[in-house]
Structure 1
Amino acid sequence: MLRHISERYARGIGAALVAVAALVLAANAGPARATDAGQVQQVQQAPHSR
């Protein structure tokens, strides 16, 4: 009986560690950046007419 409980806790802790690792990796994966800032073009917004 004790073995089944400890296996269940071990699986739960393992799943929690995998989830935390996935969240940390996802948080550190930021948006892609331009390699050369000089080539980045800014978009001008057209005025809205009503």
Structure 2
Amino acid sequence: MLRRISARYSRGFIAALLAVAALVTVANVGPARATVPTGAAHPSEQGALPAGR
């Protein structure tokens, strides 16, 4: 009986380790960072307002 219990706990422990490894891998995979700054993204910062304002 002890052999069955230890096998059950070892399977659970291995499953937990695999789940943590999968979560860490997914957390580290993300969108790539921009290497070149694109400048101002807001239209008012680019001087695109109409002349009357």
TM-score w.r.t. the length of structure 2 is 0.62
| Deviating 4+ runs (over 6 angstroms) | none
Corresponding residue number in structure 1 for 2:50:
none
Corresponding residue number in structure 1 for 2:49:
none
Corresponding residue number in structure 2 for 1:48:
none
CA RMSD of aligned residues (A): 2.0
Corresponding residue number in structure 1 for 2:28:
28
Unaligned runs of 5+ in 1: 46-50
Instruction: Give percent identity, aligned residues only.
Output: 63
TM-score w.r.t. the length of structure 1 is 0.65
Q: Radius of gyration: which is bigger? A: 2
Q: Deviations 1:6-40 (Å, cap 9, x if unpaired)? A: 000000000000000000000011113445x26x6
Unaligned runs of 5+ in 2: 44-53
**How many residue pairs were aligned?**
43
The yes-or-no answer on 1:17 pairing with 2:33 is: no
Paired letter, 2:22: A
